[in-house]
Amino acid sequence: MNTIETVRVGLLGFGTVGQSVARILCAGHVSRVQLTHIFNRRVASKHVDWVPPTVKWTDEIDDVLRSDVDVVVELVGGLHPAYEWVRAALTSGKSVVTANKQLIAHYGAELGELARANGQQLRFEASVAGGIPVLRALQEGLAGDRLVEVRGILNGTCAYILSRMQSAELPFAEALAEAQAAGYAEADPTEDVDGADAAAKLAIIAAVGLRRPIRVSDIATQSIRPIDFVDFQYAKEIDSTIRQIARAAIEEDGRVFAVVGPALVPIHSSFGQITGSQNLVMVRGVFGGETWFSGSGAGGSPTAVAVVSDLLSIGRHAPRDAGLLPVASVAEVSSDFVAPHYVRFMVADRPGILAEVCAGFARHGINIEAVVQLPRYRKDRLPFVATLEACAASVLGRALADIARLEFHVEPPLALPILA
């Protein structure tokens, strides 16, 4: 057997994930990885007695960046100063493990190049889907396939809110308040419910799995805020429920599609059954068909497992393995998926509305599959739903812009793709 030297590790950030990483490294079953430094801004308040006395605690970042650690674990989050610190670590000949999705989604290719140039590694399994080793599976385990599609539930906050709306018939605002009280949503939930969080993760998955780097800002996002609990009642009529789904696909001709937003999924499907912090990722390859991964998408311990697994990989692999992100040029991204759609109208009822809506769709060549109107709603705020045969999102958008001009709406129409 080859002897492999011990990897010395400096931890930046000692919050939930950082503490969990330290717990695993100090639990005794991980050999060849030694925690030597812990950096945190208010380090005095962070000391714990279960970390060996050999570990140096510091609130000076240079104590880690200028130390003899082999790997810096970046868990401070956010773009800055994480970006500068990671650059400094790589430049000074240290490898980096990070759980920072925004950092990797925005600067992953550049930082990966910097790692390569310095003979170091940049690993970020923890940045997507917490404890599920999906990036490694895409990059290595399915490397022999040509992956053409990915779909995932990547945001636990949305899964929690939407499943609570479904099961308890809550309006969005109440489900959000509940999620905030339960620690599933932040005081400002924008990044989660409006899709930026899932978009960053999708950009990373697309780069690693589809081998097509895309800009996060190019991914169209649709908020879950306009979802009403009547949408769950209507969705149930077609054995469906609603989840925030992140999707990307690459066409035969090389065009890249990506979008994040609420979608109808079959209620008994794997997607429909995700309720909380579980994440789920499906990838489809030309040769291997669909492969599914699910598990804990968040939480200190699962995320820490991904970080520690990356640390062990750095001990095991030669630096030439650093190229996790393709060095292709950034692809243009379309959000114009073709899919059947669910469109929910909220109207002040009067005779003739349905005819005008149907005529609107017909003018744009869109076929209506069914119209559903459940009883018991108020006439002045009447929801009804049209399900549409497969059409491009852009065509539907133009039809709805037309239809939205009619005077009977009390809310803008809500269109959601129906995913099989």
Q: What are the residues binding a copy of itself (CB under 8 A)?
A: 1-2, 4, 20, 23-24, 27, 29-30, 116, 125, 131-133, 136-137, 140-146, 268, 270, 285, 287-296, 301-302, 304-313, 316-318, 320-321, 323, 327
Reduced to 3 DSSP states, what percent helix, strand and coil does the chain have, rounded to the nearest 5?
35, 25, 35
Q: Closest distance between a copy of itself and the C-beta of residue 173, in Å?
A: 31
**C-alpha–C-alpha distance, residues 273 and 248, integer Å:** 21
Q: Which is nearer to a copy of itself, 31 or 367 (CB)?
A: 31
Q: Closest distance between a copy of itself and the C-beta of residue 278, in Å?
A: 9
Tokens at 5, concatenated: 């030297």
Task: Give the active site residue among 56, 94, 201, 236.
Answer: 201
Q: Which is nearer to a copy of itself, 62 or 290 (CB)?
A: 290
**C-alpha–C-alpha distance, residues 276 and 393, integer Å:** 29
Using alpha carbons only, what angle is made at residue 263 by residues 260 and 220, rounded to the nearest 5 degrees? Answer: 25
Strands (E), 129-255: 147-153, 220-221, 240-250
Cα 101 to the center of its chain, rounded Å: 9
Q: Which is nearer to a copy of itself, 180 or 269 (CB)?
A: 269
143 contacts 211 by C-beta, under 8 angstroms: no
What string of DSSP letters covers 29-77?
Answer: ---SEEEEEEE-TTGGGT--TTS-TTSEEES-HHHHHTSS-SEEEE-S-
**Residue linked to tokens 């190049």:** 113
282 contacts 101 by C-beta, under 8 angstroms: no
Q: Which is nearer to a copy of itself, 91 or 301 (CB)?
A: 301
Q: Closest distance between a copy of itself and the C-beta of residue 191, in Å?
A: 24
Q: Which is nearer to a copy of itself, 159 or 393 (CB)?
A: 159
Concerning whether 56 is annotated as a catalytic residue, the answer is no
Q: Which is nearer to a copy of itself, 256 or 307 (CB)?
A: 307
376 contacts 230 by C-beta, under 8 angstroms: no
Give the closest residue to 343 by CA, choosing from 415, 249, 270, 284.
415
Give the closest residue to 151 by CA, choosing from 310, 260, 32.
260
Q: Tell me the torsion sign for CA atoms 143, 145, 146, 152.
A: negative
β-sheet bridge partners, residue 46? none
**Which residues are within 8 A (CB) of 152 and not within 5 positions of it... i.e. 6 or more apart?**
129, 198, 201, 202, 205, 245, 246, 247, 279, 280, 281, 282
Q: Which is nearer to a copy of itself, 226 or 323 (CB)?
A: 323
Which residues are catalytically annotated? 201
